[in-house]
Amino acid sequence: MTSQTHTHLLQECRTCGGRAPVDVHFCPSCTKILTIGRQGDYFSFLGLPRKLNLDVAAVEQQFRVLSRQFHPDYFYNATPTERRASLERSSYLNDAYRTLKQPASRVAYLLDVEGVLKPADHEAGKLAPASLLEEVFALNEELDEVRDMRTGGAPDAEWRARLAAAAAPIEAKRAEHEAQLGELSNQWDALPSGDQTARTAVLGALRERVLERNYINNLLATIERETTGAVGPQL
């Protein structure tokens, strides 16, 4: 579902039977809170554009405004339908806020709602991307040597220094990917709504960067486990 189509969907008010746009929170006919049915997306739920460079203060403000409107305390004496709607919208609002306030989860959510990030990608993320094979190979060799050093009784400072050195190029890769994600985010926000070819290209590039970033984070987590002496899986 794209941002150009969801606003045309309608939802039905369970109190009066009226119809309302999918991302309206209260029925235009009877003013009662609407139950969660078919939603548009977190962006539209919060009244925000489907952009990646969101003003965090604006996200926070929208969250607080809607929190007051949906809070179950205001529906204590309402009908069961309204109380349920209040709980549903409050829960959905919390999920939307947690997702959109962080740049990383915001990008992943955009890819999900645009239909680009598939469930199978979570499994694919466990495989080393071709662009990182050299780093993964070098890191595996280094980790094997560090484990041998630790088993052989080498001083902590010595093998920890080796781990820190091994992490440096991976950290550099992560910084490089964050910069690329920032540039792609700017490109996405600047795209004209009707340029589907450009939208597809930017979304595809974002997907690749996100999957690579996830794997890079896994590499750094593996190094951290080695630093604490925990046994980690083979990369």
Tens-place pLDDT, residues 74-86: 899 999 999 999 9
Contact 111, 117 (CB under 8 A): yes
Domain count, the chain: 2
Residue 108 lies in a domain: no
b (16+ CB within 10 A) / e for 186-225: ebbeeeeeeeeeebeebbebbbebbbbbbbbeebbebbee
For 26-52, write each residue's pLDDT tens digit: 989 999 998 886 567 999 999 999 999
Is there a domain that residue 216 lies in? yes
**Residue 5, pLDDT score:** 40
Expressed as residue numbers, the domain containing 79 is 6-101
Per the domain annotation, does 235 fall within a domain?
no
What pLDDT is stored for residue 42 in this prediction?
A: 94
Element (H, E) at 101: none
| 3-state percent breakdown (helix, strand, coil) of the chain, nearest 5 | 65, 5, 30
Mean pLDDT, rounded, for 94-112: 95
The CATH number of whichever domain residue 93 belongs to comes to 1.10.287.110
